[in-house]
Chain A
Amino acid sequence: MRHFKLTIFAVLLTATLAFGASGLTAGKVELKSAGALAFGPDGILFIGDALGATVFAIDTEDRTAPKSVEKIDIRGVNQKIADLLGTAADQIVINDVAINPISKKVYLSVSRGRGPDAVPVILRTDSTGKISQVSLTNVRHSMATLPNPAESKEVRGRNQRLEAITDMAYADGRVFIAGLSNEEFSSNLRSIPYPFEQVTKGANIEIYHGSHGRFETNSPVRTFLPYTIDNQKFLLAAYTCTPLVKISIDDLKAGSKVKGTTIAELGNRNSPLDMIAYKKDGHDFILMANSSRGVMKLQADKLGGFQPIVAHTETAGVPYETIASLKGVQQLDKLDEKNALILTDASGTLDLVTIALP
């Protein structure tokens, strides 16, 4: 009997050690695709796998702060990655770039190949310029499956629906996910509480309809950023239909409709790509990369002053300037309070470089 109790104790202890307080278990992570990246607490990297409709949380074990933050300058990073992965540079797609806020090391999600059999790869680099693969064969991880909308059981034919994960961020114990379906336009913003062990078959995944403006749509969010205004937590969300909208995180309740406040219109013939927030000389700014309107620097000191639209006119707008020196910026991430990391495309050659925050 005593032996039995000891065995149970040992099994429970082993399970506790393996599972850990964060619900991570060691094992192989099998990605079907590697898209959006976001860092959570303690070096946890979230990987959005749109093809697998899953968000993975992996423990990078990368928790050592550098003595000083060195600049990164990797020209032709797509060619360097192609050399490492044994293929041509045009077969490398860098889907996202994220900086570990503790170690300042840079993580990249990459597709090796462009067809349906493209291989997802997670890479890591730093100021030395050396690029290495992050092994996922035995890594502490957990996962949350994104529920796909129900489909008919009676009709034959393969489900062709996929939902691209356009952006992902961690804030206050939740992973926020913006998506865009290849079928219905009507779209949702989702959040998953982290650690993921609380998620049971998607039951805890909350869905919001964040509409904005006079003409409501369930338009998809393209990129977003957790942001605090006057001690209140918001998501600053840039929609595919161009406005920049603030949505109160406190107002996000499962299944609810949330009314966002349009704080800027980013102009026509343009799509926002990525954004970061920073402080300089006592003022708040947001830096935003765009598809065709360059990099915008938005004055963010008075974001709290924009009220929800109550009249027929839609004239709100945060002032911004375009940073002429930054061209072809595809990805942005903050390195420290003074520097950002950008991925730029100069006619097919991708450069990963540090810039001083403007």
Chain B
Amino acid sequence: MYADKICIRFICVYLRLSAALFFVFAAHAATIHLENGAFRVDGWKPTGDPASMFSVHVGMSETPMLGDYEVAGDSVIFRPRFPLSSGVSYRAVFHPPGAAKLETVFEGPAPPNGPKTSVTQIYPTADTVPENTLKFYVVFSAPMSQGEAWKNLKLLDGQGKAVDLPFLEMRQELWNPESTRLTVLFAPGRIKRGLVPNLEDGPPLRAGTTYTLTIDQGWKDARGLPLASTHIKKFRVGSADRTPPEPNRWKVTAPKAGTRDALQLDFGKSMDYALLLRLVSVPSVNGSVEIGPGESVWRFTPDDPWKAGVHQIKIDTALEDLSGNGVGRPFDIDVFEKVTKTIERKTVSVPFRVR
């Protein structure tokens, strides 16, 4: 009886040792690979929940990354829920029970190659802008990282001194869908008359001063790489513009019938670049738009030759000039003064005759 017990105990110990040796052997035989963004342990047939033995971590973090497991033959595959990031180390840990831990560190993919990103244009392009200019657009040659703007944009006054907080520094930066164009608003409280910031600080831009806008090279593009160089734009500031754009003062240069000559609309002052592209059109005539010098001219080239007769240029009254004055609607209206210039229509039409 006693001999039987010893025998059973011996068999148990033997089995336990065998199991442990099997796992140690299995663990040592196993290898971890990174293939096509997925981590893979080969040479191991899992006997339990793979998530309890195989995990992938960012650097030395204890938190396992989110992802999905797949068991295929003698392999376990971990597919991270999100693509791997460049510049990040990933630590894959395989630790079956009773066996030594196997760790392998992999580096994230290299950032995509390509030319360095640069600033291609800043609107308005005019040399002189009104004191109450509301915004500008910075256009980049490739998609940019968001959340970097306010530390990389600087406005310097005539003495080279940084203007204190000239912009509306919003958490939600105002990018286009491709992340290649940023809209930068000057602090509207300093532009709108009658408000404390306007009364105490005055507008961020002062008439008669030449300013320098700098865009720092350190601004990262969407690949995480800095710009090709620091971009500098100088501009002069003129007096404030509180006059809404008036369609009856605009000059139309009509093209000739049978040609594909450009139709030209001259506003007599600089207008908002983005709105010019979107809000001015010739109904029923397809074509392409070019914006002229200082954003004061809109040129439209039709796809097909012009037909003789009277046509219309349609302008949405949401069109604004550089100071946020809309068509028939000044940026700020003094409600205690009688407002005489109001246009209730949502679009205005400027006729022209093609002969």
Interchain nearest-CB distance for B122 vs A (Å): 15
Q: B195, A243: Cβ atoms under 8 Å? A: yes
Nearest CB on B from A76, distance (A): 11
A150 CA / B280 CA spacing, docked (Å): 11
Asked whether any CB of chain B lies closer than 8 Å to the CB of A41, the reply is no
A208-233, CB < 8 A from B? 213-217, 219, 222
Q: Do A50 and B222 touch (CB < 8 A)? A: no
Which B residues are CB-close (under 8 A) to A93? 146-147
- Interface of A with B (CB < 8 Å)? 35, 50-51, 79-80, 82-88, 91, 93, 95, 111-119, 133, 149-157, 159-162, 164-166, 180-186, 213-217, 219, 222, 239-243, 265, 267-271, 273, 291-292, 312, 314, 330
**Bound complex: CA of A182 vs CA of B172, how far in Å?**
10
Min C-beta distance of A3 to chain B, whole Å: 43
A152 with B82, Cβ < 8 A, contacts A162-B177, A186-B324, A267-B196 known: no
Assess the A271–B169 pair: CB atoms within 8 A: yes
Which of B4-12, B26-34, B252-260, B286-294 makes up part of the contact surface? B286-294
**Given the complex of chains A and B, what is the CA–CA distance between A83 and B300 in angstroms?**
52
CB pair B222 A115 closer than 8 Å: yes
Q: 17 A–B contact pairs at CB < 8 A?
A: A95-B172, A111-B146, A133-B66, A151-B279, A154-B281, A154-B283, A155-B277, A160-B176, A160-B277, A162-B174, A182-B183, A185-B135, A185-B331, A186-B326, A219-B188, A240-B168, A242-B196
B172 touches A166 (CB 8 A): yes
Nearest CB of A to B211, in Å: 18
Most A CB contacts (10 A, CB to CB) among B82, B191, B201, B300 go to B82
Taking CB atoms, residues of chain B closer than 8 Å to A164 are 170, 172, 174
Give the contacts of B321-342 with A (CB-CB under 8 A): 324, 326, 329, 331-336
Q: Are A217 and B82 touching (Cβ within 8 A)?
A: no
Contact A242 B195 (CB under 8 A): yes
B189 within 8 A of A: yes
Question: Nearest 5 CB-CB pairs, A to B?
Answer: A115-B222, A152-B281, A268-B197, A241-B189, A182-B174
B32 to chain A, nearest CB (A): 16
B113 at the binding interface (Cβ < 8 Å): no
- Whether B107 is near chain A, meaning CB under 8 Å from some CB there, is no
- CB pair A156–B288 under 8 Å, yes or no, is yes
- Tell me, rounded to whole Å, the shortest Cβ–Cβ distance linking B229 to chain A: 21
Q: Does B295 contact A (CB under 8 A)?
A: no
Q: Which of B44-52, B54-62, B97-105 participates in binding chain A?
A: B54-62
Name the segment of B14-22, B69-77, B85-93, B153-161 touching the other chain: B85-93
Residues of B with Cβ closer than 8 Å to A?
A: 56-58, 61, 63, 65-67, 80-82, 84-85, 87-88, 90, 134-135, 143-148, 164-165, 168-172, 174-179, 181, 183, 185, 187-197, 200-201, 220-223, 272, 274-275, 277-289, 300, 314, 316, 318, 320, 324, 326, 329, 331-336
Which residues on the B side are within 8 Å of A85 (C-beta)? 65-66, 81-82
CB-CB under 8 A from A270, the residues of chain B are: 197
User: Which residues of B lie under 8 Å from residue A243 when comparing CB positions?
Assistant: 189, 195
Given contacts A154-B281, A160-B181, contact A215 B190 (CB under 8 A): no
What CA separation (Å) do A1 and B318 show in the bound complex?
59
**Residues on the A chain within 8 Å of B144, using CB:** 115
Q: Indicate whether A268 sits within 8 Å of B146 (C-beta atoms), given known contacts A84-B65, A157-B288, A180-B174.
A: no
User: Contact between A160 and B177 (Cβ–Cβ < 8 Å)?
Assistant: yes
The answer on a CB contact under 8 Å between A116 and B178 is yes
A240 contacts B188, CB within 8 Å? yes
Tell me whether A83 and B58 are in contact (CB under 8 A): yes
A149-B318, A265-B196 as given contacts; A86 in contact with B175, CB under 8 Å: no
- Chain A residue numbers with a CB within 8 Å of B90 are 86
Residues of A within 8 A of B333 (CB): 215-217
Chain B: minimal CB distance from A74 (Å): 12
A118, A149, A314: the one within 8 Å of B194 (CB): A314
Question: Could you tell me if A215 and B192 are in contact, using CB atoms closer than 8 angstroms?
Answer: yes
User: Which of chain B's residues have a CB closer than 8 A to the CB of A273?
Assistant: 171
Determine the chain A residues whose CB is within 8 A of the CB of B220 once the complex forms: 114
Cα distance A133–B280 in the bound complex, in angstroms: 45
Q: Given the complex, which residues of A lie within 8 Å of B300, measured CB to CB?
A: 155
Q: Which residue of A lies closest to B180 (CB)?
A: A116
Residue of A nearest to B320 (CB): A184
- Please give the distance in Å from B114's CB to the nearest CB on chain A: 13
Q: Which of A50, A84, A268, A314 contacts B189 (CB 8 A)?
A: A268
Q: Are B146 and A86 in contact (CB under 8 A)?
A: no
User: B142 to nearest A CB, angstroms?
Assistant: 10
Contacts of A91 in B (CB 8 A): 85
Structural contact, A116 and B169, CB atoms closer than 8 A: no
Inter-subunit contact B148/A214 (CB<8 Å): no
Which residue of B has the minimal Cβ distance to A121?
Answer: B82
Given A161-B278, A183-B272, A185-B135, A84 and B63 contact (CB-CB distance below 8 Å)? yes
A64 to chain B, nearest CB (A): 24
Which residues of B are found within 8 Å of A150, using beta-carbon distances? 316
Give A152's nearest chain B residue, CB to CB.
Answer: B281
Output the least CB separation between A162 and chain B (Å): 6
Whole-angstrom distance from the CB of B52 to the nearest CB of chain A?
Answer: 17
- Taking CB as reference atom, which chain A residue is nearest B200? A268
Of the candidates B179, B189, B281, which one forms a contact with A242 in the assembled complex, judged by CB atoms under 8 Å apart? Answer: B189
Contact across chains for B280 and A152 when beta carbons are under 8 A apart: yes
Q: In the bound complex, do residue A214 and residue B183 qualify as a contact, i.e. CB atoms below 8 Å apart?
A: no
Asked if B278 and A82 make an inter-chain contact with CB atoms under 8 angstroms apart, the answer reads no
Residues in chain A near residue B65, CB distance under 8 A = 83-86
Bound CA–CA A214/B335 (angstroms): 6
Of all chain B residues, the one with the shortest Cβ separation from A150 is B316
